[in-house]
Amino acid sequence: MAAKQNDETAEGGTVGKALSVLDQVAAFGRPVRFSELLERSPFPKATLYRFVQTLVGQGMLAFDAERNAYALGVRLVRLAHTAWQQSSLAPVARPHVDQLAALAGETVHLAQLDAAQVLYVDKRNAAQPIEMYSSAGKVGPAYCTGVGKAMLAFLPEAELAPILAQQSFHVFTPTTLTSEAALRSELRAIREAGYAFDREEHEPGIICVAVPILNAGARPLGAISVTSSTARTSLAALEALAPDVQSAAETIARDAEAWRFPNEIKSNERAGV
């Protein structure tokens, strides 16, 4: 129950600074030269240099000698494989995601909340062979996506408030919600209905129904959605799928609970309230 709040999310520690370099490299999205990194870095040359050396030595960055540029290292891919398996719903949810995709004949997304953003952890496109890693790992805004709103709607106020404060409310389309107040009233409606829509709020022409995946304590673990386009279908037609999405979400939640205990703290269960 430690009420411990480590605010210094990135300060003070050498480790944090080094990791921030990783983010920087990631931000470029391509192999990057030392000097390019240096320009945008708060660190002096020698310091940045040592960080980069360390990270390369650690396999977190890869140095391409031909181009002499740095890219994210494969150790990350390896770690992420484990991370994805152990701290995401995806492995548990897969069969249900498959089933829902087949049933709906539309794209299905599985997402979780990462800080104030939506992190897509799986995706299934009924039509064509998948394209997974390309979307697993992607992040999106929470305030204007179906899955994002579905999760926010079921978050306790104490956690919701700081997250809402971090939303950009950038206007992507005419229907994007542009204020915390508007979003809050939308969340109320979602809580009531049990499912959320994306009414072309993020991308024009793209609509979806999303349902939160709630654990036994009604805490949102993630969300699942069926996405389509206005060209192919309507919100009303998607709404008809809501019960299917909900039943998928419930099954996933059940499986997720079941999954937690087998390979778990086998020793005594503390009184745990």
Partner DNA sequence: AGTTGAGTTCCATTATTTGAAACTCGGTTT
Partner DNA sequence: AAACCGAGTTTCAAATAATGGAACTCAACT
Q: Which of positions 19-58 make contact with DNA (CB under 7 A)?
A: 33-35, 38, 43-47, 49-51, 54
| Contact of residue 193 among a copy of itself, DNA, none (CB under 5-8 Å per partner type) | none
Which of 45, 260 has the CB closer to a copy of itself? 260
Residue 228 bridge partners (DSSP): 207
- Distance from C-alpha of 11 to C-alpha of 2, rounded to nearest angstrom: 21
Which of 16, 243 has the CB closer to a copy of itself? 16
Write down the H helix ranges in the chain: 14-28, 34-39, 45-57, 74-87, 90-104, 146-153, 157-166, 180-193, 235-260
Do the Cβ atoms of 164 and 175 come closer than 8 Å? no
| Nearest distance, CB of residue 38 and a copy of itself, angstroms | 14
Q: According to the binding rule CB under 7 A, does residue 9 interact with DNA?
A: no
Do the Cβ atoms of 226 and 78 come closer than 8 Å? no
Which run of H or E residues covers position 72?
strand 69-72
- Distance from C-alpha of 190 to C-alpha of 145, rounded to nearest angstrom: 13
Q: According to the binding rule CB under 8 A, does residue 163 interact with a copy of itself?
A: no
| Contact of residue 45 among DNA, a copy of itself, none (CB under 5-8 Å per partner type) | DNA
Interface map 76-95 toward a copy of itself (x if CB under 8 A): xxxxxxxxxxxxx-xx--x-
Q: Dihedrals φ, ψ of 227, to 5°?
A: -115, 145
| Nearest distance, CB of residue 258 and DNA, angstroms | 23
Q: According to the binding rule CB under 7 A, does residue 271 interact with DNA?
A: yes
Q: Which of residues 188-207 bind a copy of itself (CB under 8 A)?
A: none
Which of 65, 231 has the CB closer to a copy of itself? 65
| Contact of residue 23 among a copy of itself, DNA, none (CB under 5-8 Å per partner type) | a copy of itself
* Among candidate residues 217, 215, 213, the one with its CA nearest the CA of residue 194: 213
Q: According to the binding rule CB under 8 A, does residue 39 interact with a copy of itself?
A: no
Interface map 96-135 toward a copy of itself (x if CB under 8 A): --x-------------x-xx---x-xx-x----xxxxxx-
Question: With helix as H, strand as E and coil as C, how does 174-209 read?
Answer: CCCCCCHHHHHHHHHHHHHHCCEEEECCCCCCEEEE
Residues binding DNA (CB under 7 A): 1-2, 4, 12-15, 17, 33-35, 38, 43-47, 49-51, 54, 68, 268, 270-273
